[in-house]
Amino acid sequence: MTRRTDFDRHGLSDEQLRSILRNMLMQRGLENRGFQLNRQGKIPFASASEGHEAVQAGAAMAFERGKDILVPYYRDLGLALGIGLTPYEVLLSLFARAADHSGGRQFLHHYASRRLGVQTISSVIAAQLPHAVGAAYALKLRGESGRAVLTTFGDGATSEGEWHESINFAAVHQLPIVFLCENNEWAISTPQRMQMAIKDIYRKAEGYGIPGAGVDGFDPIACYAAARDALNRARDGGGPTLLEAKCYRFLAHSTDDDDSAYRSREEVAERRKDDPVPKFERVLVGAGVMTPSAVEEMRTSILAEINDATDRAETMPYPRSDDLYAQVYGASYNPWQ
């Protein structure tokens, strides 16, 4: 295939670049399915990470499966997919079926996987950070070099006490961890300017004595490179990094939110012009990594996979009431007995 446009691929192969696009399209497709199922009354809730595809698909490409630990937050569908969670597992979570990793007991969209090294997600903002730092501390205490923790959170989370305590502890102990902020400019209805008096969240790193870097969160390759460098530093004993990927949340906070109550349609339409998904498609087609028809085929195969996963997950049984306390208390203790 002839190369038409040159671009900095930061060492990524054609296959890896196509895999990043596939992740981004899958993320968007699965999310759309979540909203559809919610509007059909089949699931009570779905969340929205449209606008976060590039940062998540890029960062996931830097994660080393079988070695690193991911401690994500609730908007990280693309990270989970990128490190190996299947659409079927996502749908089992959305339908809250017994075969889900949590037995159908976790909040929807709160994925976890022992197999992939993904810790379960907390809905409580920033509560995952002490857990992530604890995991990084364990890696250090055990002398396990070559492994790192990747943890993520939103802009709003950086106002929580746990955020500051966690970064400070990780800095003092030089832990193998990367703090990745997905700054989408909003914390539900609170815009960034009402959340903090600075523009660049990564500059907060300076206050803790660790490196900080900002990256274009609409550019998956830039996000990959930033995450790779920070993870490599952590794996090699170089300590923590604070990364900030600047992106945007195109949809409402979740299916329970009406974002037109707090931001104008004009603002959203303006930011849509930079939508990272069609933009990355254009990059790959322009560089000759994919043809337009190959992108169409990818889209078709993704939809077929999502439809199949939806049908299979929907027919699976719900959890049973008599095992409500299984995996919560030791042995066969039932609190009401």
Ligand X SMILES: Cc1ncc(C[n+]2csc(CCOP(=O)(O)OP(=O)(O)O)c2C)c(N)n1
Nearest CA-CA partner of 72 in 124, 119, 20, 134 = 119
Stretch touching ligand X by CB under 6 A, among 27-35, 168-176, 184-192, 235-243: 184-192
Q: What burial class does residue 200 get, using C-beta atoms within 10 Å of its C-beta: 0-12 exposed, 13-18 middle, 19+ buried?
A: middle
Smallest distance from the beta carbon of 204 to ligand X, in angstroms? 14
Q: x/- site string to ligand X, residues 149 to 168, per CB under 6 A?
A: ----xxxxx-----------
Residue 262 appears among annotated catalytic residues: yes
Q: Indicate the residue whose CB is closest to Mg ion.
A: 154
Smallest distance from the beta carbon of 153 to ligand X, in angstroms? 6
Smallest distance from the beta carbon of 112 to ligand X, in angstroms? 18
Q: Is 155 a binder of Mg ion (CB under 5 A)?
A: yes
Whichever of 38 and 158 has its CB closer to ligand X, that residue is 158
What whole-number distance in Å separates Cα of residue 234 and Cα of residue 237? 5
Q: Which of residues 58-77 bind ligand X (CB under 6 A)?
A: 75
What whole-number distance in Å separates Cα of residue 251 and Cα of residue 53? 13
168 three-class SS: helix
Residue 249 appears among annotated catalytic residues: yes
Nearest CA-CA partner of 242 in 255, 254, 219, 226 = 226
Tokens standing for residue 80 = 């989970």
Among residues 9, 18, 262, 299, which one is catalytic? 262
Smallest distance from the beta carbon of 50 to Mg ion, in angstroms? 13
Q: Is 202 a binder of ligand X (CB under 6 A)?
A: no
Q: What burial class does residue 317 get, using C-beta atoms within 10 Å of its C-beta: 0-12 exposed, 13-18 middle, 19+ buried?
A: exposed
Find out whether 58 and 321 touch, Cβ atoms under 8 Å.
Answer: no
Which of 23, 38, 119, 184 is close enough to bind Mg ion by CB under 5 A? 184
Tell the residue number behind the tokens 């992106």, with chain if given.
Answer: 247
Stretch touching ligand X by CB under 6 A, among 35-43, 56-64, 121-129, 163-171: 121-129
Going from the C-alpha of 195 to that of each of 160, 188, 192, 263, the distances in angstroms are 11, 11, 5, 16
Q: Is 124 a binder of ligand X (CB under 6 A)?
A: yes
Total of chain residues touching Mg ion, rule CB under 5 A: 4
Residue 101 appears among annotated catalytic residues: no
Q: Which does 123 bind (CB under 5 to 8 A by kind): ligand X, Mg ion, none?
A: ligand X
Q: Is 125 a binder of ligand X (CB under 6 A)?
A: yes
**CB environment 140-158: b (16+ within 10 A), e (fewer):** beeeeeebbbbbbbbbbbb
Q: Which does 246 bind (CB under 5 to 8 A by kind): Mg ion, ligand X, none?
A: none
Give the interface with ligand X as residue ranges (CB under 6 A): 75, 123-125, 153-157, 184, 186-188, 249, 253
Catalytic residues: 249, 253, 262
Q: Enumerate binding residues for Mg ion (CB under 5 A).
A: 154-155, 184, 187
